[in-house]
A and B are shown apart, each in its own frame.
Chain A
Amino acid sequence: MNIHEYQAKQIFAKYGVPTPKGIVANTPDQAAKNAAELGGDIWVVKAQIHAGGRGLGGGVKLAKSIDEVRELASQILGMTLVTHQTGPEGKLVQKVYIEEGADIKDELYLGVVLDRAKEMPVIMASTEGGMEIEKVAEETPEKIIKVAVDPAIGFQGFHGRELVFGLGITDPNEQKKFIDFASKLYRVYMENDAELIEINPLIKTGSGDFIALDGKMGFDDSALGRHPEIEDMRDISEEDPDEREASQYGLSYVALDGEIGCMVNGAGLAMGTMDTINYMGGTPANFLDVGGKANAETVAKGFEIILKNPNVKAIFVNIFGGIVRCDRIANGILEATKMVDVHVPVIVRLDGTNALEAAEILKNANIANVIPATDLADGAAKAVAAAKGE
């Protein structure tokens, strides 16, 4: 789960990670009121969406008067912001964050993420703040310093020294401030079961203070149960409604732009099914993993979600039953045809646990549109042919 910048900064502040003062707003008037409350003579109006690259996309603007704050907020609220992380469809801006202006001397990058190979969190820092970190990694990887921290010992002094010497911070007072910043950020990461924290940029002010000018946080979904306060930060409007509906039924769904709807058990086989369809000259319309506990209701729901997509010309149900039993899927298909108007050919391949019973169920039901397949290759070939109207 991801959260907004303003929410990440609320968490940072709780741990003493320095952030500029700011207040979130839903309307231009609220934005102006927030600016007045913050005081000062310069403010930043920042679009709140779950994606990076907002500045380049026109979602971050500087205001020099309260009226300008109101004006910019009215421009940004309701706009569809397209950045390199939103995809071409962009994201609708529903909230803006009004923040006090900052005295920027240097821009750095600081992040914490799991290093899967080392099996430890790694703190990444770079002097190339304010840029796309992906580009820095590609073009000048030596400018990214990586310090892995073993949670068994926690953040130690030497971790901090590696960071500050790596970044070329030489002033002892600044070194101390940066190390304090990094150690607190490590605590934020660990204690909240974060999956990712990125601060880009982390600024150094004229007076040598370090401040999180931006903040991105993502969380380990498996750990949200023990962080109700973070679960409360969920912004449903940032999530794809079909994906969300699917997840309520234990289905994992991602829409794609092809013609063959897929319903598969297991993420690996689901991807493998898409790959096979592609290999045989067709195009997958979605990724859909029915999971290990599929029943008639969830399968019917799966059909309903797949069929919402008007591009779907055929559906390939590919189930290799281990935990999920094929007879349940067969019953699900029967239920679905009663609940939903399944107006496209459905190619069904059921193998594994109770496959024979499943074949019997489908045969006895004798539904038009349902085409049985013997294996993955056969099913994919039939689905591709059906989508082409053959």
Chain B
Amino acid sequence: MSILVNKETKVIVQGFTGSEGTFHAEQCIAYGTNIVGGVTPNKGGQEHLGKPVFNTVKEAAEATGATVSMVFVPPAFVADAVMEAADAGIELAVIITEGAPVRDMQAAKAYATKHGMKTIGPNCPGIITAEECKIGIMPGMIFKKGNIGLISKSGTLTYEGANQVVKEGFGISTAVGIGGDPIIGLSYKQLLPMFEADPETEAIVMIGEIGGDLEIQAAAFIKENITKPVVAFIAGQTAPKGKRMGHAGAIVSGSAGTAAEKMAALEAAGVKVVVSPADIGKAIKEVLSK
């Protein structure tokens, strides 16, 4: 068990033949991900990395039975690609692309939701079910199989957290990098119940950042719904107050989005909050030995 993806999951790659798509698809295949093909317009009928290339997602999904798409399409075209995946009946799009305009992602996310397609990202490392399926750009070798679920806004902190969990003698069930853009797909609130329901996951690491209020929402959700132990770290306790022109964003959410505020909310929800990311591994050991 795991969440969202496993060794059976059939994956296509949008932006398959580009340099990023090629490099990372190759790594994913080497990791064992069941990549069944890819999409690059006008390259349909060709073969790439030993897999068939299609002109459209619809063709690719019909021919291969893929349910998940890993998206490497350049930022100016990524919203189009995500909407195409939703339209073709893909169930989950993992959007790696960095630098997508917010307005585009707003439209793409709304369309995906309407069509029942889940999204992860954009601007994220992706999702990995350890030793089964890697859909993204994370270094696969650090994710040893185990019983810890991981959700993180930050890419490199995902690696840092997973590495520490493994060094303490535990392992990862599934790790999800959700990205930190203004509009993102699956977030803590949707992923936490999946880990709660996953029999393989015994504890959850949650890594957040300053800004926005997703961690505050997560804290409220954990208090009511999550029985498994949760360890959290919020990056940016020492970040200076932004030299931004306005503070309208914070006014909208009714929260200043500071690390202190998020840490307090999580602690009040019974989460084990660590002050330094260097303590994530130790904290997992502590909550699991209770």
Contacts and interface: CB of A to CB of B under 8 A. Distances in A.
30 contacts: A2-B245, A50-B245, A115-B253, A117-B217, A119-B106, A134-B251, A146-B252, A150-B110, A193-B102, A193-B103, A216-B245, A222-B100, A226-B76, A268-B157, A269-B277, A271-B209, A272-B160, A272-B277, A275-B235, A276-B276, A278-B238, A280-B276, A287-B239, A320-B163, A322-B156, A322-B159, A352-B159, A376-B160, A380-B276, A380-B278
A149 to B, nearest CB: 11
A276 to B, nearest CB: 4
Contacts of A156: none
Given A124-B251, A218-B246, A375 B142 contact: no
Interface of A: 2, 50-52, 85-87, 111, 113-117, 119-120, 122, 124, 133-134, 137, 141, 144, 146, 150-152, 190, 193, 195-196, 198, 216, 218, 220, 222-223, 225-226, 254, 256, 264-269, 271-272, 274-280, 284, 287, 292, 320-323, 351-353, 375-377, 380
B46 interface: no
Given A222-B99, A268-B180, A141 B249 contact: no
B113 to A, nearest CB: 9
B235 A268 contact: yes
A222 B106 CA distance: 13
Contacts of B147: none
Ranked 4 nearest A-B pairs via Cβ? A268-B154, A266-B156, A223-B101, A377-B278
Interface string B243-262: 11111111111100001000
Interface residues of B, number: 62
A115 B210 CA distance: 16
A348 to B, nearest CB: 16
Contacts of B109: 119
B109 to A, nearest CB: 6
B236 interface: yes
A351 B161 CA distance: 12
A377 B155 contact: no
Mostly, the A contact residues are mixed
A216 B207 CA distance: 33
Contacts of B157: 266, 268-269, 272
B276 A151 contact: no
Nearest to A279: B276
A245 B54 CA distance: 42
B236 A52 contact: no
B258 to A, nearest CB: 12
Nearest to A132: B247
A193 B101 contact: yes
A224 to B, nearest CB: 9
A269 B103 contact: no
B38 interface: no
B213 interface: yes
Given A51-B245, A216-B245, A254-B240, A113 B233 contact: no
A114 B246 contact: no
Contacts of A376: 160, 276-278
Interface in B132-164: 137-139, 142, 152-157, 159-160, 163
B65 interface: no
Contacts of B125: 322
Interface string B117-131: 000000001000000
Contacts of B207: 268
A190 B159 contact: no
Interface in B178-224: 180, 182-183, 207, 209-210, 212-214, 217
Nearest to A258: B238
A133 B252 CA distance: 11
Nearest to B109: A119
B102 A268 contact: no
B240 A321 contact: no
Q: Which of B106, B109, B233, B250 has the most CB atoms of chain A within a 10 A radius of its CB?
A: B106
Given A2-B245, A119-B106, A266-B154, A225 B76 contact: yes
Contacts of B217: 117
A67 to B, nearest CB: 33
Nearest to B236: A271
B237 interface: yes
A151 B249 contact: no
A193 B238 CA distance: 31
A117 B215 CA distance: 12
Contact of B101 (A117, A222, A278, A322): A222
Given A116-B182, A133-B251, 5 more contacts: A190-B103, A266-B156, A275-B237, A275-B238, A351-B159
A111 B155 contact: no
Contact of A353 (B103, B139, B160, B247): B139
